[in-house]
Structure 1
């Protein structure tokens, strides 16, 4: 399998190939917004982002950022080698329901305590997600939850040919 060739970031950009492994959690003051069913269902300037080699950032929002009634527990669980056991969330607004489109770590490993109880969502299941007013592109591949903005360059895990990275 050929090794990926990282894109060279321009001023104001970050390369996902400079992100660490294991991942790092950092607070962001950028405004994060999520729309579903034609309604803005979440907004915060107090999110965290998780940065991991080859992945665009995954944003974790406090539960209080979501409108009342949007979130309900979904069946299933998974395990991340770094963060621990994930719980899933269904998001509903208007006539739209996105089953298991969000996840959280209620009791993460110690290095990830900052995101305990915070919720991340798959941008591809939402009408729209924004970071600092910019509409995001979902990380390719369907399995991953990163949000791509003009601020980050790849190539990104999940793209065709990236299975062995």
Structure 2
């Protein structure tokens, strides 16, 4: 089981090509501040998560996927019945969040690994967020925005992978039309 100090530290804001990321994927600690901020339809902001103790997973043709520790979560999150399996990290559990009593829940846009494989044991119970809520903003009562340091991240196409795209991440990324067969 790798310890935190044995895991490579990600470069801070270096230009990176997703085609130079490894396969199988690699786990890195990140020195960046990671935040997920909810903005209601009335413009009120709520911090969902905020940390400088996160990890990122790098895999060929994908932007990084970030994992935030449970201590960074500032609002209640409930586990759903959805599960998926990753050949590298193990079985993922999914979660739902509701940020106001009058809004719809945002379901299965947050995931974690309760029992990850040995290589990914440092992200046990850490939470990963899709870069978007994936639902109608009006029905949800708002939307969340994800940040790496002060940069709002872009959304990986295809809505299957949860990568966060920042201005330093380059290369054709899997997820959009015509990329599933790579």
Greater alpha carbon shift after TM alignment, 154-163 vs 43-52: 154-163
Match of 1:142 in 2: 159
1:96, CA displacement in angstroms?
5.2
Q: Distance in 1 between matches of 2:95 and 2:159?
A: 16
Q: Distance in 2 between matches of 1:91 and 1:29?
A: 27
TM-score normalised by length of structure 1: 0.89
Aligned length: 154
Q: What does the per-residue CA deviation read over 1:18-50, in whole Å, with 9 as the maximum and x for residues that have no partner?
A: 100000000002000102243121100000000
Unaligned residue ranges in structure 2 (runs of 5+): 1-12, 134-142
1:93, CA displacement in angstroms?
1.5
Q: Distance in 1 between matches of 2:173 and 2:29?
A: 22
Match of 1:118 in 2: 126
Among candidates 15, 22, 25, match of residue 24 of structure 2 = 22
Match of 1:50 in 2: 57
SS state of the match for residue 98, structure 2?
Answer: strand
SS state of the match for residue 93, structure 1?
Answer: coil
Q: Distance in 1 between matches of 2:122 and 2:54?
A: 10
1:76, CA displacement in angstroms?
1.2
Q: Distance in 2 between matches of 1:140 and 1:93?
A: 25
Match of 1:131 in 2: 148
Among candidates 46, 65, 75, match of residue 72 of structure 2 = 65
1:164, CA displacement in angstroms?
0.7
2:89 corresponds to 1:78: no
Q: Distance in 1 between matches of 2:105 and 2:91?
A: 24
Match of 1:6 in 2: none
Match of 2:137 in 1: none
Moved >4 Å (runs of 4+)? none
Match of 2:35 in 1: 33
What root-mean-square deviation, in Å, do the aligned CA atoms of Structure 1 and Structure 2 show?
1.4
SS state of the match for residue 128, structure 2?
Answer: strand
SS state of the match for residue 114, structure 1?
Answer: helix
Match of 2:98 in 1: 92
